[in-house]
Amino acid sequence: MTYTLLIADKSYSSWSLRGWLSFRAFDIPVSVKTTRMYCDQFRLDVDGFAPGNRTVPIVRTPTGGLLTDSIAIAWHLDRAFPDKGLLPADPNARAMAMSLIAEMHSGFTGLRGACPMNLRTGWEGFEVTDAVRADLERLERVWGAALDAHGGPWLCGDYSLADVFFAPVATRILTYGLPVSDRALAYAKAHVAHPAFRRWRAMGLVEGPEQPAYDMGLPRRAFPAPEPLSARAVDHGPSENATCPYSGNPVTDFMEMDGRIFGFCNPFCRDKTVADPEAWPDFMAIYQT
């Protein structure tokens, strides 16, 4: 048996991102199920997975227990996988990481309310409110204190659950072009370059149409992420590989990159690779040979 995680739209669901990174960024096996927000199916999927609940992420543990909040998921996984480094080993760094997680979980409501997470676009002309500015000033203080205390590059030295919990906030800085220091901006950019985050965003870009509720009515600009390698879907092979790099199943769908054809077992495997080829080590292993 393994863990099963229910999440929602990867481009928009910030709490889902925290739940997913708590597993994937630390190589903890998990089976993932995805639902879509703002439709009747969301309520049905959540209630079917964990009766009586209304939000995601939710985890079903190997013993059948339910974890129905991101902070509960974090504490459980840290105790269940002490060798994975979800929290720092150093007692002082660990205390700071836990404090950062708790503050993120309950705070920064001005920023979170005014600037919904959106990984599909950047916005121009966002007007920073007093509440958002106050939260940005608090971020500067807590991030700066953590980076000073532990030397970076992440908040408590190595990447930890503290960074997982601040990942969606970091993306908001980039999506909305929020005014922060060079140090905070560099920390935000490190998040969108993180390998697990790149995989998350690539899947989000191709898992369905945009959610109208997240349209800010502002001029758009490109989301400031690392530039992906150029690739495109094509109608036919033959491909260099006979089996999908992810499932090992026979290929049925194809993409072209650098004049070479590669195959995948379904359109989603192909499309997530087209979105950001370098995000996928199993594909890059084929490409580089």
Structure tokens at 274: 């087209």
Beta strands of 110-209 (E only): which ranges? 122-123
State pLDDT tens for residues 175-228: 999 999 999 999 999 999 999 999 999 999 999 999 999 999 999 999 999 999
Domain boundaries, given as residue ranges, for the chain = 3-84, 91-198, 232-287
**pLDDT > 70 in the chain, percent:** 100
pTM: 0.96
CATH match for 91-198 among 1.20.1050.10, 3.40.50.720, 3.30.450.40, 1.10.10.10: 1.20.1050.10
Give the CATH fold of the 3-84 domain: Glutaredoxin (3.40.30)
Confidence at 1, pLDDT banded by 50, 70, 90: low
Query: Hunting for tokens 């992440």 — which residue is that?
Result: 154
Q: Which residues contact 288 (CB under 8 A, 6 or more apart)?
A: none
pLDDT number for residue 38: 95
